Each structure stands twice: as C-alpha cells, then as structure tokens.
Amino acid sequence: MPDSYFYRYDAHDRALVAERVAQFRDQVARRLSGDLTEEQFKPLRLTNGLYLQLHAYMLRVAIPYGTLTSGQLRALAGIARRFDRGYGHFTTRQNLQFNWIRLEDAPDILEALAAVDMHAMQTSGNCIRNVTADHFAGAAGDEVEDPRIWAEIVRQWSTLHPEFSFLPRKFKIAVTGSPRDRAAVRVHDIGLRLHRDPAGAVGFEVIVGGGLGRTPMIGKTLRDFLPREDLLAYLEATLRVYNRYGRRDNLYKARIKILVHEIGAERMRGEVDAEFHALRGTALRLPDEVIDAIARQFAAPALAARPARSEDVERLRARDRAFARWLAANVTPHRVPGYAIVTAALKQLGAPPGDASATQMDAVADLADRHSSGEVRVSHEQNLILPWVPLDDLQALWRALDALGFADPVAGRIGDIVACPGLDYCALANARSIPLAQRLSLRFGDAARQQEIGELKVRISGCINACGHHHVGHIGILGVDRNGTELYQISLGGDPEAGSTAIGEILGPALTEERTIEAIEAMVDLYLATRVAGERFVDTYRRLGADPYKEKVYGHRA
Amino acid sequence: MVTVHSGSRAVPSALSPLPLDAWLLDLTAAAVSLPNTASPDLLGDGLARLELIALHFPKFNDGRAYSQARLLRGRMGYRGELRATGDVLRDQLPFMLRCGFDSFEKADPPFGEAVRAAATLFSVVYQPAEDNRVPAAELRRLATAGAMAAAAAVSLG
C-alpha cells in the first residue's frame, strides 16, 4: 500500500469531479449561447465557485480542510500564470481565489484542477460549503483525533447532496479535534468539536447556529456528545430542519442562526432530535470500517526518529535575534519529538494579506517537498503552514522563507492581520480593507515591538458580511460608508476560540483610516502601560473594560 | 402548454391534483398538490389512497420540496407518482430524481431528453437518498469486504 498521509481520490472521486466539469462546460456553453439567462446561470456558476465581481469573474477553489500537496500547490500556481494575473489569494475559509478570470476559461480551469484531484464545487451558493478544519490537524500535540478524517467524511456526504443544494442560505461546517480550537467552531452554522466521553469513546460536541455576518451569534450546543457513527444522521437531521423551516423571506434572516435564535435552542434541539431518531441507524450510519478506511488515509507520514532538541537551532537562537523572534512567533511545537510546525506568513509588508504569486507558490511547494513531506496547509488566518518540518531543517527553511518574504515573525501578532478583499475587488464591500491592513502592518512593522506586544489578532472586514471575521478579532475593524466616505468602526474583545468565544464590542463612532491607525496605536500603548504579567491585549481589555480605551480614542479630541 | 415528462414512470398520471385544502375535504380523491410550506404529515391516512402528489417549486432556488419528497418516499413509504411542478429547470433534475421525483411538469416542449440525460449525468453518488443508488463509501466497503473474502477463500482452498 502506498505511503499516504492525506486523502487521495479514488476512481469514484475522480469520476464525479470529471462529470461535474463536463456538466459545467455544457452550462457555460448554454450561457454563452443565450440558452440560459444570467438569473438561471447564476446559481449554477456559484455552486462551481464562480462569482461576478467588480472587474472580472472570481473563481474560488476549494481546498478541503486546508490541506494541499506540493503538486496541487504547483497546479494552482500554473493556473494563476495561465488564466489569471500570476497570483492568487488565500482566504479566511482556507480556500484560494483567482480574481481575474474569464467566463470562457472557467471550464478549462476546472479541468486543470480535476487533473490534480481538486475542484471548486460548493465554494459558493446556498449549499453546504467547503468544510474547514484545524490547520495544525495531525501535527498538533493536543488533539483527540485528526479532524480531517471527519472533515473528509462530511465533504463527501455534502458533495452534490440532492436535498440540500438549495438551502435558504449558505451553510458552513467546521471541525476541530483539539481543545485549543483553531477552527472557530462556535461561529459556524455547525461546529463539530471532537472529544472523549468518560468511557474514552470519541464523539462530537455539536454546536449549531453560530455565525458572523451582520448578526453575529455564538452557536448553541445541541449535543454534548454525539457518538461518531451517528454524525451523518445528525447532520442530515439538522439540515433537514433548516431546509424546511429556515426563513426564505429575507436574505438577511435566512441563516440557521436566525432560526435557532427565533425558535430557541430548546425547540431546535427537539426538532432535530425528532428527525435524528428517525434517521439514526439507517444507511447514514457510519460503520467502523468506513471510518477506519478514511482514517488510514490520514496516518502521519513516515517520520525518521530525531533528537527532541536540535543543537544547531539552539546555537542560532542564542546568536541571532531575528531567528529567535521567528522561532517564537512562527514555529509551533509538534506532536512528534524532533519536528516542528512552521507558519509561512503571507503578510508581507505592503502586500494584501493572503496573496501569493505563482512564483511564491511554486517556491513553497519546493520547500514542502524538501522540508515537510510534500504537504502544505492553508490556515484561516490566511497563512501557509508546513506541518512536518524536522528541527534540523529550521534554519535552512527560515532563510528560504525569508527570501520569499514569508518569514516575518508575525504569526498571531499584530502584523498577522486578517482582511477580506474589500472594495478593491468585492462588489459587496463598503470600504477598502487591504490599504488599511497594509498601513497598519507598516506602522507596526518593527519585529521587536511586535514581539513585545505579543498575541493580538487584528481582523478587518470591508462590509457587514464579515468575511474578514472582524467580530472575533481582539481588535476588529469594520469598513463602513458614510455619504461616500470610507470610515472604520473599531470593536474590541472578540475571540474565535471555542472555550472563550466572544463577539467584540463596538468602541464608538467610526473613524477615518488615519484616525483608526492612531487609535490602534493609542490602545496598544495603553495595553503596554497597564498590562500585568502574562496578559495578552485581549486579557487586559477584559480586565479593564472598554472605558479607558474609549477615553484614549475619543476623550481627548482636539 | 404545460407537458408532464416522465422520469422512471412509464406514463404519468392523467389525474388533476386537487389543492390541499380541497383534498382535505374529499379524502377519496387520488391526486393532491402540496404547497412547499405544508408538512407531508397532513396527508395522514389519506396517503394510502393517493396515486399522485404534486410538489411545488415556486422558484428553482426554493428547495423545500426536496425535503418533502424525501419524507414522503423514505419516511412515509409513498410509492405513487411524485411530480415536480413550478420552476423546474433541467439543471435541478439530477437532484430531483435522487429525492424521489418521477415526473416533471414543464412549459417548454423539448424537455424529455433533459430528463433522460439527468439520470446518467453523475455515475457516482456520495449519500444515500430515495433512488436506491449505492453511495461511494458503501461501494468501497463492499469492494474491500469482497477482496478479503476472496483472499480468505484462496487461503482456505
């Protein structure tokens, strides 16, 4: 049996994707010939990831649970060169967007994706979207089970689901296998958190009705412990309740979070349970051998035994402060002694967060082959992750990433800004997000200062659809339009992690870009002056409350 | 002119479905039209006498009737004709067939070919539905079990 540590398509998966490409080629031809109206074509192109944006079509490629092989990353680079302007944008949902696509080329692009076992299915539209998971899955030391096993099972079940392809609204599912929730499961339509019951069996906490957007809500736990064999029956029950009773009269009240909010968690649980009891034990039950067959595909790569400590790394750490800062910010301890997880920060000074050129993608693919068993992950913080790096390779990898501009020691820091494409690209945006992100990262560009500030999640959305996840930023920034002027509303105290999930609170009236930057600088100074040992920015805010921050920002206006 | 196109059913029913309200007053009628906001449970014992149930798509992107169809077929055991009416488009046909619809009302005449093509558009399915097609995961399980049985037979022989 070939060495396999990520899901490989078999003949069934390949046939389905090929047939889907053929179907879409026919649909595009019918659109171009006028057989289909734009209104009829729109949902068809959307469920194939194709949006019509401000200047061109945008194609959103699915990267299920953020896992890529080096070969797939090279194929994405090739598509960027051949069909786009030589770059792509990694998104907050672990996907990749090409921003300059011609409709006529879309079927050929999908065919190029299919050649490397990829697709763009269900990256848009009112269906179950591409499923997301912890980007450190399989490599993190703290997980109960690899969440990608379950994300892949959900991916297959949700693909071309005949009952749930015309839901009231889009539907996002996230899976985490770790107590340190890196998948933000409480702010998804359904969040699945793997854990063990007292007897040691693995199952799920099922969280329903979370979400960001214009009505941010934290999901409710409908099940504390769902046995793993029942996962699909419970998902199907939940989706059926939503498909039947979710609101369709108002686009902005159509997400499942509104249904849960309006009928209450108790009634929602009752409705889902009634459906679940009828579906449980039917063909939706997951037999152990089906779970195990998928699980085997995610077995770790063959990693040679290595010393838990690298003397080379320690010597350089003591000697080179830049390397030490990079280790502190961008290198995460691994489950396996002698290895590390490396974050390649796609947060270059002066570049849009999450952007990578074709050349950079190819280079990261090469680095993955050399240092990370040929695998790359995409994080929802819009970075690339190399999950299987021997400690002795860190120095070489650091230098190579530095040459690409991906070694800024920013992971989790103020320079690790998450931002949506904003008004520069998006038809929905009210304000630009990328220029603000760029100016902020320039203002806080000094690595020593970033290290002093420590963990601080800044997230920027260009409109209330909240693609930049501003509600769960320690500092969240929302772009608004006031009579044609782009202003920014600051919120504080948001947190995406399951144990402490919080929606940020609005600080006060929206500010100009210039004053937003000044305000953040002033609030960071306040934090540095008032923090007690071990406190992060968000901890100090929770202890002090909003008043001192309001005073700093609005109190001394000239 | 509206035509009814058959899926798996040889000849669609010639009955005119009664609106639900009228049918509830005359439970002997063999054809009913169910609005997509109504629960199939409303049909009660009358379901056994029905030969035709029409489910409605006011817009192609309003997917409630898919769930109604699956409940009727999978949960309630309805085996009569299940007809999709309203905004029925060829690109929705593969989903409708899987949910148990077997006839389709359509205003544009050339639609029969689309119905036939929809049945074979996808050779693979990933989830159990109302068409008894075997999902990929089950095919893989059977293939593995078959291979193991064959190996066991060889070693026994």
CB under 8 Å to A85, separation ≥6 — which residues? A99, A100
Average pLDDT over residues A83-106: 94
Q: Is the pLDDT assigned to residue A1 strictly greater than 80? A: no
One domain, residues A345 and A226: no
Q: Rounded distance, CA A98 to CA A80, Å?
A: 7
> Which of A124, A156, A176 is CA-nearest to residue A9?
A156
Q: Are A471 and A504 in contact (CB under 8 A)?
A: yes
Distance from CA of A124 to the nearest CA of B (A): 14
Query: Are the Cβ atoms of B136 and A160 closer than 8 angstroms?
Result: no
* Residue in chain A nearest B88 by alpha carbon: A40
Residue in A12, A14, A47 to test binding to B, most B beta-carbons within 10 Å: A12
Dihedral pair phi/psi, residue A381, rounded to 5°: -85, 10
Check whether residue B118 and residue B128 sit in a common domain: no
A16 vs B60: CB contact, 8 Å cut-off?
no
pLDDT (mean) for A214-236: 96
CB atoms A163 and B94 under 8 Å: no
Q: Please list the ranges in chain B whose pLDDT falls under 50.
A: none
Does residue A123 lie in a domain region?
no
DSSP A219: P
Query: CB B128 to CB A284 under 8 A?
Result: yes
Q: Which of B61, B62, B75 sits opposite A278 (nearest CB)?
A: B75
Q: Who's near A556: CB < 8 A, 6+ residues apart? A: none
Angle between helices A513-530 and A434-443 in degrees, nearest 10: 40
pLDDT digits (tens, 9 = 90+) for A244-271: 999 999 999 999 999 999 999 999 999 9
Q: Do B64 and B136 sit in the same domain of this protein? A: no
Among candidate residues A380, A404, A428, the one where a domain is terminated? A404
Residue of B nearest to A45 (CA): B91
Range of the domain at A392: 311-404
Asked which of A345, A369, A404 is the last residue of a domain, the reply is A404
Q: Is the pLDDT score of A3 beyond 80?
A: no
Q: How does residue A40 score in pLDDT terms, banded at 50, 70 and 90?
A: confident
> Looking at this predicted complex, what is its ipTM?
0.95
Q: Is B95 on the interface with A (CB under 8 A)?
A: yes
pLDDT value of position A512 = 96
Asked whether residue A291 falls in the same domain as residue A315, the answer is: no
Interface of B with A in 43-62 (CB under 8 A): 60-62
Kindly state whether residues A536 and A455 are assigned to the same domain.
Answer: yes
The verdict on A199 and A264 lying in the same domain is yes
Shared-domain flag, residues A370 and A457: no
Please report where in the chains the tokens 């995460």 appear, as a residue: A332
Chain A CA closest to residue B139: A12
Pairing of strands B3-6, A505-506: unpaired
- Report whether pLDDT(A328) > 50: yes
B128 in the same domain as B84:
no
Bridge partners (DSSP) listed for residue A98: A59
Q: Side chain identity at A37, as an amino acid letter?
A: T
Q: Do A216 and A251 fall within a single domain?
A: yes
| Any domain includes A230 | yes
**What H or E segment, with its residue span, contains residue A539?**
helix A537-544
B143 touches chain A (CB under 8 A): no
Query: Residue A242 and residue A261: Cα distance in Å, rounded?
Result: 12
Token pair recorded at residue A468? 């930049």
In this predicted structure, what is the pLDDT of residue A43? 86
- Judge: A43–B128 Cβ closer than 8 Å, yes or no: no
User: In a 3-state reduction of DSSP, which class is residue A211?
Assistant: strand
Residues B106 and B153 in one domain: no
- B89 and chain A: CB distance < 8 Å anywhere? yes
A303 is a domain residue? no
Query: Which of A23, A161, A243 lies nearest to residue B127, judging by beta carbons?
Result: A161
What pLDDT is attached to residue A558? 40
Q: Residues A404, A409, A411, A413: what is their CA dihedral angle, to the nearest 10 degrees? A: -140
Q: For residue B99, give the 3-state DSSP assignment.
A: helix
Would you call B99 an interface residue with chain A, using a CB distance cutoff of 8 Å?
yes
Task: Compute CA distances A308 → A42, A249, A311, A392, A455, whole Å.
Answer: 54, 59, 10, 10, 26
A436 and A494, same domain (yes or no): yes
Q: How high is the pLDDT of residue B9?
A: 72
Q: Hey, is the C-beta of B86 within 8 angstroms of any chain A C-beta?
A: no
pLDDT above 90 for A39: no
B89–A162 C-beta distance less than 8 A: no
CATH number of the domain enclosing A317: 3.90.480.20
Which two structure tokens, joined as six digits, stand for A131? 């499923």
Residues B93 and B133 in one domain: no
Chain A neighbors of B136, CB-CB under 8 A: 12-13, 16, 156
pLDDT-above-70 percentage for chain A = 99
Structural domains counted in chain A: 4
B45/B94 same-domain check? yes
In a domain, A121, yes or no: no
Q: How many domains does chain B have?
A: 2
pLDDT digits (tens, 9 = 90+) for A189-199: 999 999 999 99
Query: Does B148 share its domain with B114?
Result: no
Whether residue B151 lies within 8 A of chain A, CB to CB, comes out as no
Please check whether residues B94 and B150 belong to one and the same domain: no
Taking an 8 Å cut-off on Cβ atoms, the answer to whether B62 and A13 are in contact is no
Same-domain status, A328 and A366: yes
- Partners of B92 on chain A (C-beta within 8 Å) are 166
Nearest to B127 among A27, A157, A289 (CB): A157
Of A43-47, A360-364, A472-476, B55-59, the one with minimum mean pLDDT is A43-47
Query: Domain with A454 in it: what CATH number?
Result: 3.30.413.10
**Model confidence at A50: pLDDT above 60:** yes
HSE-CB for A264 with a 13 A CA cutoff = 3
What pLDDT does residue A266 have? 98
Q: Cβ of A162 and B126 within 8 Å?
A: no
Asked if A63 contacts A73 with a C-beta cutoff of 8 angstroms, the reply is: no
- The mean pLDDT of A54-76, rounded to a whole number, is 95
Choosing from A350, A371, A404, the residue where a domain stops is A404
Tokens (6 digits) for A197: 């019951």
Q: Are B67 and A244 in contact (CB < 8 Å)?
A: yes
Residues from A contacting B (CB-CB < 8 Å) are: 10, 12-13, 15-16, 19-20, 23, 27, 40, 43-44, 126, 156-167, 232, 240, 243-244, 248, 278, 282-284, 287, 289-290, 293
Tell whether B88 and B111 lie within a shared domain.
yes
> Within a domain: residue A369?
yes
Closest-CA distance, A261 to chain B, in angstroms, reads: 20
Same domain, A173 and A207: yes
Torsion angle, CA of A414/A383/A143/A388, rounded to 10 degrees?
-120
Dihedral through CA B57, CA B58, CA B63, CA B65, nearest 10?
Answer: -40
The beta-carbon neighbor of B99 closest among A157, A162, A287 is A162
Q: In Å, how far is B121's CA from the nearest CA of chain A?
A: 7
On whether any CB of chain A is under 8 Å from the CB of B136, the answer is: yes
With residues binned 3-state (H G I as helix, E B as strand, rest as coil), the percentages for chain B, rounded to 5, are 45, 15, 40
C-alpha atoms less than 13 angstroms from C-alpha of A221 in its C-beta half-sphere? 10
**What is the distance between the alpha carbons of residues B36 and B54, in angstroms, rounded to a whole number?**
10
- Integer Cα distance of A61 and A442 in angstroms: 30
pLDDT of residue A335: 94
Chain A residues within 8 A of B77 when measuring between CB atoms: none
Contact B62 A248 (CB under 8 A): yes
Contacts of residue A138, defined as CB under 8 A and 6 or more positions apart, other chains included, come to A5, A146, A148, A298, A300, A335, A387
> Is the residue at A528 inside a domain?
yes
pLDDT of res. B157 = 54
Domain of B14, CATH number, reads 3.20.20.70
B142, B67: one domain: no
Mean pLDDT of chain A, nearest integer: 94
Same domain, B118 and B132: no
The order of strands in the sheet holding A87-90 is A50-52, A57-61, A96-101, A87-90, A355-357
Interface test with B, best of A169, A235, A244, A249 (most B CBs within 10 A): A244
* B133 and B78 housed in the same domain: no
Number of Cβ pairs closer than 8 Å across A and B? 104
Q: Which residues contact B123 (CB under 8 A, 6 or more apart)?
A: A15, A16, A19
So what's the pLDDT on residue B149?
84
Say if A124 falls within a structural domain: no
**Rounded CA gap, A468 and A458, in Å?**
9
Distance from CA of A370 to the nearest CA of B (A): 34
Q: So what's the pLDDT on residue A261?
A: 97
Alpha carbon of residue A183 to chain centroid? 7
Residue A2 has pLDDT above 60, yes or no: no
What's the pLDDT score for residue A397? Answer: 98
Range of the domain at B84: 3-122
Q: Contact, A141 vs A334, CB < 8 A? A: yes
Is residue A179 pLDDT above 90, yes or no? no
SS (H, E, C) A283-342: CCCCCHHHHHHHHHHCCCCCCCCCCCCCHHHHHHHHHCHHHHHHHHHHEEECCCCCEEEE
